[in-house]
Amino acid sequence: MSKPSTSSSISTAADLKAAKPHELKALCDAENISYAGVVERPELNKVAEQALAKKRKREEQNSSAPSKRQVSRRHVETPIEDVSWVPLDDKTGRGINLSGQWVMESDTADKDIRDLRVTAILSFYRPGNKPFRTPAGVVEHAQLAANEEDADRIMNHFDAICDFIDYNLQHGREVLIHCEGGVCRAPLAVVAYLAWRQRHDGWTSYRTGPRNLKILVGEVVGRVRVARARVVEKINGPRDELLQRLYTWLGFRIERLPPLQPDPSCWHVWRRVEDGSPRSVVTC
């Protein structure tokens, strides 16, 4: 049997037995396992076994981690300050970008949006304020004029919000959802969509009462809070009255009632037509 020449060649118990003492010590050094005071070979083997176990665990974690291309796509930590990435699930590798309005108002907004590869944006802005400028390269930009206190208005646009998000994700676009601070209205929209998208495969188990529906929403809210907490020290999350409207709306969807129509006075969608020239479209 050929003997391993370096600690990196030690990967099995057989390699341990064949390795020279200095190779076992090199393995321990590489894995930060101390062998101070160990003189005899049996004791050195035991210490080296600990190092080998640590090495195997690290290699398993590295092999299961996404590639650099996937990480940049999945935004485990987004390259732009104040932007969080919320995964849709553990299967698709897709997700939604969530932020405050800073990313839209900075001097580098066009570059930041391009770096995130975002081509569809949903903006919440306060009634009476000007809508946000659409950054260069964005294909669709929906904007809803609503404060945190406008619970009914937001509920009445859950269908339009989810349709907008789903349409763009289905077309392979990166979606950004933002409000003023990125801690209430925008997270609520993400929560609504994540719950809504389970309508085909998960809602049959949530038809027995409001308690089970709250379990679903609570799980989704937890996922959003964990993701957003990476860049925001404290996230308040959706207000209670907003969550109550969310439960009401999800009940409508479970009962398959007709979708609520958006109000064109506060809901606007801008789309870029195929020839590349912009146009403004108000969805009704």
Cα–Cα distance, 262 to 284 (Å, whole number): 6
Instruction: Work out the burial of residue 106: count CB atoms within 10 Å of its CB; fewer than 13 is exposed, 13-18 middle, 19 or more buried.
Output: middle
- Its pTM surpasses 0.85: no
Output the pLDDT for position 17: 78
239-266 pLDDT tens trace? 788 888 998 898 888 777 899 999 999 9
Cα–Cα distance, 167 to 220 (Å, whole number): 20
Angle between helix axes 185-196 and 240-254 (nearest 10 degrees) is: 20
- Which comes out higher in pLDDT, residue 13 or 8? 13
The whole-number average pLDDT for the span 209-238 is: 73
46-72 pLDDT tens trace? 877 887 787 777 776 665 443 333 333
Taking 80 as the threshold, does the pLDDT of residue 111 lie above it? yes
According to DSSP, the residues that pair with 99 across neighbouring strands are: 83, 178
261-283 pLDDT tens trace? 999 999 999 998 654 554 444 44
**β-pair type (267-272, 278-281):** antiparallel
Place of tokens 């306060």: 126
Query: Residue 94, SS3?
Result: coil
25-43 pLDDT tens trace? 887 888 777 877 776 777 7
pLDDT band at 237 (very low <50, low <70, confident <90, very high): low
pLDDT band at 75 (very low <50, low <70, confident <90, very high): very low
Q: How many CB atoms lie within 10 A of CB 158?
A: 25
Output the pLDDT for position 54: 79
- Which comes out higher in pLDDT, residue 148 or 215? 148
CA distances to 66, 173, 226 from 76, in Å: 10, 17, 12
152-193 pLDDT tens trace? 999 999 999 999 999 999 999 999 999 998 888 999 999 999
Residue type, 97: N
